[in-house]
A = this chain, B = another copy of it.
Amino acid sequence: MSPTPVAFQTDNHRTVLRITESALTPEGVLSLAEFRTWFEERRQVDVAQVRRIDLADLDRWSEDPHTGNIGHDSGKFFVVEGLSVNHSDGPVPRWTQPIINQPEIGILGILAKEFDGVLHFLMQAKNEPGNAGGVQLSPTVQATRSNYTGVHGGAAVPYLEYFRSADPGTVIADALQSEQGSWFYQKRNRNVVVEVQDEVPLLDGFRWLTLGQLHRLLAEDDIVNMDSRTVLSCLPFAAVQLATTFPAAVDSLQTAVLRSSSQEEAGRHPTGEILSWVTDARTRNQVRAQRIPLADVTSWRHTATAIEHEAGLFFRVIGVDVRTGHREVASWTQPMIEPVGTGIVAFLVTRFGGVLHALVHARVEPGYFDVVELAPTVQCNEENYGWLPAAARPRFLDRVLAARPEEILFEAALSEEGGRFYHALNRYLIIELDAGAGAALDTGPDHRWLTLHQLVGLLRHSHYVNVQARSLVACLHSLAGA
């Protein structure tokens, strides 16, 4: 009854090979040097003056007299409201907090096209008010529904039509993915990559780059924005026999990454076990998150300039005034979330039998669509834990902080979405434990070792991999060209 092995490739096999080729291509139609010159120019040209203002001075945004919720007069964009959370088994069993409610599904889309037989991706140099350094690289299209249905009265979104009427056969990736569950209530965006065959007009502010080039830029501070990172993480970067199709030096990091992306490599845990573990975490954690009026949020104080936690923890809701000549609307005001301090977002990785595994965390955040998502090994802002008992200190944080330089495979300071978050900088890290240390690690009930192809498989679906882990998955892919 034992079957003969058979040839079995997923239906997108050829696309995966082309993605891998692009990742291994360090220069494209535009050289990296040319890109840098162009990008520097964009940073000079596309500047914005972002000024903090009093919440009362927000224009076209107002506080509802009954609820205290802060919304736009059009009823569109988003609302800052309150959330009441009950998580009986968590380190903090109940709390209230401000949260952004933005129920519309936006589009984060990247166009792909072959040049000289290699896939390139169309990236946009875009400034957003929350970016500390101005322009960053964003997807081809990064638009809320309010944007693309013209609520803000601005210009049409360039390249949008490629995504709204894509031929099914040209879609490389397409999934709804969540965003920060501590700051957003059930927010998600459509992450989509579409390949075009025809000539595409190249607009000002856009350039085609190979995945290899994007991976190089990803490792530099604050160039590739969050929206780009999450879309890149959804690329189907896993196939059978990827490591033998693209052979690299035995025992090299590159081989460990490519083997981790090769679907025939058994992981530390079969995928069925991982799915069952996620199901169990979603059943075990009884989280009730209920939207409440912002006025009913307790332990947060409302000053002229911010809504902030009494102990100065977590984040502040602030108002900003933005002036720029390079957005659809030349000037506007808006509320933003400004996190307190710089966070740490880190994967511990190790090799089992030469196959790279990342240690993921089944994490509860109150704004998640489905209770738990798979997060980085460590994702925290250390300052927020000082007041909690030692037992609440994030597992593996100390191991991450103690990483020796030779263990650090990846390190960059990267920002979260600059349209909603003001200077939300995190230190992104990938830290490799040697095989012995990895195998010896007590992972506990809430962490599991996953291969890259398992993560890629989950990323075809919604609500499995959180936005910080998606950034790190994109960073892990970048190590394939290391």
Interface residues of A (CB under 8 A from B): 1, 3-13, 17, 21, 103, 105, 168-169, 171-176, 190, 192, 236, 239-241, 244-245, 263-264, 266, 269-273, 275-277, 279-280, 282-283, 288, 369-370, 460-462
Contact = CB atoms under 8 A, between A and B. Distances in A.
A270 B175 CA distance: 15
B8 A168 contact: no
A283 B460 contact: no
B12 A176 contact: no
A70 to B, nearest CB: 20
A288 to B, nearest CB: 8
Contacts of A103: 288
Contacts of A105: 282-283
Given A1-B245, A168-B276, 19 more contacts: A1-B21, A3-B13, A3-B17, A4-B241, A5-B6, A5-B9, A6-B7, A6-B8, A6-B240, A7-B7, A8-B240, A8-B264, A105-B283, A168-B277, A169-B273, A171-B276, A176-B279, A176-B282, A190-B279
Contacts of A11: 266, 270-272
Task: Please give the count of copies of this chain that the complex contains.
Answer: 2
Contacts of A4: 241
A173 B460 CA distance: 20
A279 B17 contact: no
Contacts of A169: 273
Given A8-B240, A171-B272, A176 B245 contact: no
Nearest to A454: B11
Given A8-B8, A279-B175, A283-B105, A168 B273 contact: yes
A285 to B, nearest CB: 10
A71 to B, nearest CB: 16
Contact of A264 (B7, B176, B241, B460): B7
A235 to B, nearest CB: 12
A9 B6 CA distance: 8
Contacts of A240: 3, 6, 8
